Structure 1
Amino acid sequence: MTLLLTGYEPFGDHDENPSAMVARELDGEEIAGHEISGHVLPVQFDRTASEMQNLIETHDPTAIVATGLAAGRAGISVERVGINVNDCGSTPDNADAEPRNERIRPGNQAGFFATLPVVSVVEELLERGIPAHVSNTAGTHLCNNILYSTQAYLEAEKLDTPMGFVHLPCTPGMAAQRARDGNGTSGASVKPSLSLAMQAEAIRRTFDTTLNG
């Protein structure tokens, strides 16, 4: 019995990605008799969805949690919905693709809700003293893409596997580095951050709440 966890490789001007670090750290851990299988996805619009689908076909997971970096957010963001649009904004993917106002999939399905118990997960994290909130926007980059495209795939295959997306903030080391790069000694702001240990615990609690929900 497998719990599928994915993170993303570094992208843009980030040298690290805590979602990749958490996926690697939790790989092989057990929660309620289920083993976490952690994987790092490429930040590429033309590869990510198919790689996730291959992982689902290979592992037949009991639950799926995809994660990614939201560098400006102050805590754990549990996403409620993915929308049918790719738009890279100011950040091309790692293959230099720059989609603008493109559909992820043809058709009229505007969005898919996460099937994890979003509110219950956030309640559990807050009870554990982990800063967290329900987020109603996963953006339009690859974090949104993986939520929308995976839910579309699960529906098409008639799979009732709980799945959702969790945005993670910077680690303190990342925040300090960005402050150094941004003249933090001259009054520049510091990105909000959470320790990697707290971020990893948030994902453990997300899986545990999903299994018990």
Structure 2
Amino acid sequence: MSGRNAPHVPTPKVISRQISLTSRTGMNPERSLGACGENWTTKSSSMTPTTFCWRRLLVNLTPKLCRMDEKPNLPENIMGPLRILVTGFEPFGTHQYNPSQEVALGLEGHHHLSIAGSEMSINAEITSRVLTVDEHGAIQTANSLASGESWDAILHIGLCDSCIHPRVEQRAQQRLSMRIPDNSGRMLHEQHIDGRGDTGCWIDISTWKKQDFSCDFELSYDAGLFVCNETYYHTLHALQLHSALQLPPPCLFLHIPPTEHLSVASASQFALDCIATMVLPSPNPIVEVVAGLVTNKQGQVLLAQRSDDHTWEFPGGKCEPNENWADAMERELLEELNVKVEANRILGTWEHLRNGSMLRIHLIDCSISFGQPRADPSVHASLMWCDPLDHESMNWTGRDGAMMEYIAKYNSMPR
């Protein structure tokens, strides 16, 4: 059975990580420079190949199963510390000082990351960079990703002079409208960055428990319309474009308030709390699920009614092992709706605990390239085009209602 109706057998959590091909790993590629394939050997029997490329290698590392009362055994002796990029910004406008710069630079180096109330921990090596407050700084990280640099997580930090508490940003807009010039003198008003559309992170921040963090914080869907938003936008899109993983490495933007509301030391600790929450494994087996946002010319959204419980959902299904989010989305809609689509971008992620497994449902903006949607009766009883504003009375599957509310409220549909 295909799609989100298909039964799922929980499996141990798999940690996917890109590592450099060095003599430390004991790997001997059997193919010539630039070749790709699955034929390589390793002196370590605990490593299983998925994809081989000369410059980078994607490896699935499965921790040993342990008793429920034992601390998970993370294979750092093979992986080494996680590589984290943290960026801050130089001063801008009337600000002679930008605390995000000091926080980022102060975090550079080795850290042992953990979450309050959890026995899980992992080592991380943080690289810090200070970005210029202009277009060059906004695209710097995206350009680094395009040139082949990679990290296990990215945290951008910027100053929000109107904030009292830190704000964790869920969404980046494709729009810029500046109240002051950036540091190169650029001052754009109501302009699109490009035509790719708003995008969101693939982390469900709404599930974060505030008691696990060192200070209070706010969840935000508005990163502003200045260089902070521009930076987040370019990095999220670059990660989706250039990562070969099932889901790209996690990335967030953190706005911190001025130092009269939050000291540099407290902001630094909160940044580490965010990084730990981004990278530490879930206590539940993770199931990556893709759900397609398909719209028509009238701005209506395609919904599918499940055959089993007659609830309504965005059509989609589970990612296969070693299948990335875009390929999974295109495969699922071909199987379920008999249409060819292009999976354009990730809009956001919603988590849903079911039968002991954590479903991470990624809402994907899709455009139909061929065919008309037709329901497969074994999966869906019917299809419907729905106005996003007329969703409250519907009987939803899982958290699909929250996904539709997000679309209606933040107008994240293609335009």
So what's the TM-score if we normalise by structure 2? 0.43
Work out the CA distance in 1 between the residues paired with 2:207 and 2:94.
34
Q: Distance in 1 between matches of 2:185 and 2:220?
A: 28
Could you tell me how far 1:76 is from its partner in structure 2? Answer: 0.7
Match of 2:190 among 89, 101, 115: 101
Q: Partner of 2:192: helix, strand, or coil?
A: coil
Alpha-carbon deviation of 1:59? 4.4
- Give 3-state SS (helix, strand or coil) of 1:29's partner: strand
Aligned to 1:139: 224
Contact 1:2–1:59 (Cα < 8 Å) also in 2: no
Q: Could you tell me how far apart the structure 1 residues matched to 2:150 and 2:100 are?
A: 22
Contact 1:138 1:144 in 2 (8 A): yes
Alignment-derived partner of residue 124 in structure 2: 34
Whichever residue aligns with residue 198 of structure 1, its letter is S
Kept in 2, the 8 Å contact 1:43–1:94? The answer is yes
State the distance in 2 between where 1:22 and 1:163 align: 17
When you count strand as a share of all residues, which structure comes out higher? 2
> Paired residue for 1:6?
87
Give the Cα–Cα distance (whole angstroms) in 1 for the partners of residues 227 and 266 of structure 2: 24
Question: Is the contact between residue 114 and residue 165 of structure 1 (CA under 8 Å) also seen in structure 2?
Answer: no
CA contact (8 A) 1:8 1:41 kept: yes
Q: Distance in 2 between matches of 1:26 and 1:36?
A: 7
- After the TM superposition, which residues 154-169 of structure 1 pair with which residues of structure 2 at under 5 Å, given as runs? 154-159=239-244, 160-169=248-257
User: Residue 151 of structure 1: SS of its match in structure 2?
Assistant: helix
Cα offsets for 1:10-59 (capped at 9, x unmatched): 001111111101001001132422201111000012x0233112444564
* Structure with max Cα Rg: 2
Q: 1:205 aligns with which of 258, 264, 273?
A: 273
CA contact (8 A) 2:139 2:234 kept: no
CA contact (8 A) 2:168 2:254 kept: yes
Paired position in structure 1 for 2:376: none
Residue aligning to 1:110: 197
How do 1:4-83 residues align onto structure 2 when only pairs under 5 Å count? 4-30=85-111, 31=113, 32-45=122-135, 47-56=136-145, 57=147, 59-83=149-173
- The residue aligned with 1:180 is none
**Cα displacement (A) at 1:120:** 4.2
- Structure 2 residue matching 1:33: 3-state secondary structure: strand
Asked if structure 2 preserves the Cα contact closer than 8 Å seen for 1:7 and 1:23, the reply is yes
Post-superposition CA distance 1:189-211 (Å, at most 9, x none): xxxx1111110001000110111
Does the Cα contact within 8 Å between 2:138 and 2:227 map onto a contact in 1? no
**1:171 alignment partner in structure 2:** 259
Unaligned runs of 5+ in 2: 1-81, 114-121, 283-415
Give the superposition deviation at 1:116. Answer: 3.7
**1:150-209 superposed Cα distances (whole Å, 9 cap, x missing partner):** 11111222451111101000002xxxxxxxxxxxxxxxxxxxx11111100010001101
Aligned to 2:177: 87
Secondary structure of the structure 2 residue equivalent to 1:150: helix
Structure 1: tracts of 5 or more residues without a match: 173-192
Q: Which residue of 2 is the match for residue 196 of structure 1? A: 264
CA distance in 1, matches of 2:174, 2:265: 33
User: Partners of 1:88 and 1:2 in 2: how far apart?
Assistant: 33
Map of 1:177 onto structure 2: none
**Which is worse superposed, 148-157 or 138-147?**
148-157
TM-score after normalising by structure 1: 0.81
Distance 1:3 1:20 in 2: 16
Q: State the 1:119 CA deviation.
A: 2.8
Report the RMSD for the aligned CA atoms in angstroms: 1.7
2:63 is matched with none
- Aligned-partner residue type, residue 208 of structure 1: A
The residue type paired with residue 262 of structure 2 is L
Amino acid at match of 2:217: A
Tell me the matched-pair count.
Answer: 187
Partners of 2:207 and 2:152 lie apart in 1 by 18
